Amino acid sequence: MNYVEVDTRVLDAQGKFVAGLKPEDFQVFEDGKPQKVSAFSMVNIPVERAERPLFASKPIEADVRNNLQAADGRIYVIMLDDMHTAALRSQRIKAAARLFIEKYVGANDMVAVVHTSGRTDAGQEFTTSQARLLAAVDKFMGRKLTSATLNMVDDVSNRAGTAMAASSSDPARDLDDKERGYNARNALDSIRNVSNYLGNIRGRRKAIVYFSEGIDYNINELFSNTMTEAQSVIDATRDMIAASTRANVAVYAIDPRGLGGEFDDLSAIQSFPDDTTLGLGMGSIYNEVRLAQDSLRVMGEETGGFAVVNQNDFKSAFQRVVDDNSSYYVLGYYATNDKRDGRFRKIEVKLVNKPGLSVRARKGYVAPRGKAPETKTTDAKDAPSAELRDALESPVPLTSLPMAVTATVFKGPAPKASVVIASYVVGAALPLVEEGGMFKNDLEVLAV
């Protein structure tokens, strides 16, 4: 059966969340057909703040990690798109991401940091540590390619006065086209992979806060000889939206350039070609920025989030992100159409006899395609059990077995040191069985 979860926000005329509704107050339709709601819950998460001792300028983080506190806060993945951010504008993304972490992430929120380029030295797995998150953000450095318009202007200039100039019918070329297409696919695949990973979390809203200047590839020029990667970028976009909608992950796309972002690229062009038939001018720069921002709008609108473009003040947008992920209803149902045909299924959530209230929910999801994946089994003697594998694959800590881990470093002969890792398990949580005057049980441990 195809189990579907849809997050729903019910707002009054003033835009405030309406609590206290019951399952019978909702109707869910998939492709126009009513669905039976089999799971229902209301989520209302407070924003907790870490306490700061009077003698310290900021909260002191514990040096012992534990899973005693359930991951009951908001779940964010901060995705920094270094492949689509100009190097000289890196500071803008770092400033915006730091603002979000410092002012809008609660002490009870689980947050991870990912770079679309896949940098292994700059990411941060899920944590509640503000210091670790900020350290990951500070490593960000944009590596966006030169504007396609600027590349084509240079191509025309280089051909001027040469034998190549005789062939005036040849279109101006973007020599970075293939790499530009690769970067676009890589960024979209990053969102898809994170969405699939977050799909293991049920009953919760998950959010990707995506800081990017937008995908700088013109997918509208599908049949152009100069845009060879358009179809593959379109396919990657569809796969990304399909994964996000299936996993119930909302994407909040933030463009850090703010108002007038196109002027940075305009200032880099000293002059445009005299031949107006080439279509290279100020309009082409504006068109690039518009297409990139449209890609951010598509990500937000199709996944249940939103895009923030042409804005210099991110505070209200960040507050909307927090509100979206703090108070909502989770409606779960088993779709009557369980075909794995890869088609889009439209979702509508309606209220019963609740005039004056509005409903916000994602538009739908893309059904999986092909055969259902088989359950992984192994007969290896030392292989972990299925339960332990599931625990390791969980994106957030599990509280079924309370644990704590700490590391102590002992200085040794330079440059060596010894590290002792101590793991504690709450014995009261283990179901012990008396045997021969002793209480026994097996504890399976796997360290990664």
Strands 364-366, 37-44: parallel, antiparallel or unpaired by DSSP? Answer: unpaired
**Do residues 85 and 200 make contact, with C-beta atoms less than 8 angstroms apart?**
no
Cβ neighbours of 36 (radius 10 Å): 8
3 state DSSP class of 93: helix
- Whether pLDDT at 221 is above 50: yes
pLDDT digits (tens, 9 = 90+) for 363-403: 899 888 877 767 666 666 777 888 888 888 888 888 888 88
Strands 124-127, 438-440: parallel, antiparallel or unpaired by DSSP? Answer: unpaired
Q: Which pLDDT value is given to residue 189? A: 95
pLDDT digits (tens, 9 = 90+) for 199-220: 888 878 899 999 999 998 877 6
Return d(Cα 246, Cα 367) in angstroms, integer.
Answer: 7
Give percent of the chain with pLDDT exceeding 90.
46
Range among 50-59, 159-168, 247-256, 264-273 with highest mean pLDDT value: 247-256
Closest to 330 (Cα-Cα) out of 177, 222, 202: 202
pTM (2 d.p.): 0.85
Return d(Cα 94, Cα 135) in angstroms, integer.
Answer: 10
Return d(Cα 252, Cα 76) in angstroms, integer.
Answer: 10
Q: Which pLDDT value is given to residue 75? A: 94
**Do residues 207 and 268 make contact, with C-beta atoms less than 8 angstroms apart?**
no
> Facing residues of 422 across strands?
406
pLDDT digits (tens, 9 = 90+) for 5-21: 999 999 999 989 999 99
3 state DSSP class of 408: strand
Name the DSSP class of 415.
T
* H helix or E strand, kind and range, residue 233: helix 230-247
Name the DSSP class of 425.
E
Q: Which pLDDT value is given to residue 267? A: 60
Return d(Cα 327, Cα 319) in angstroms, integer.
Answer: 13
pLDDT digits (tens, 9 = 90+) for 237-290: 999 999 999 898 999 999 988 776 666 665 656 566 656 556 676 777 788 888
Joined together, the tokens standing for residue 79 give 């995705």
- Crossing angle of helices 282-303 and 148-159, in 10° steps, is 150
* Rg, C-alpha atoms of the chain: 26
Q: Which pLDDT value is given to residue 268? A: 59
What average pLDDT score do residues 167-185 get?
A: 79
What average pLDDT score do residues 187-203 get?
A: 91
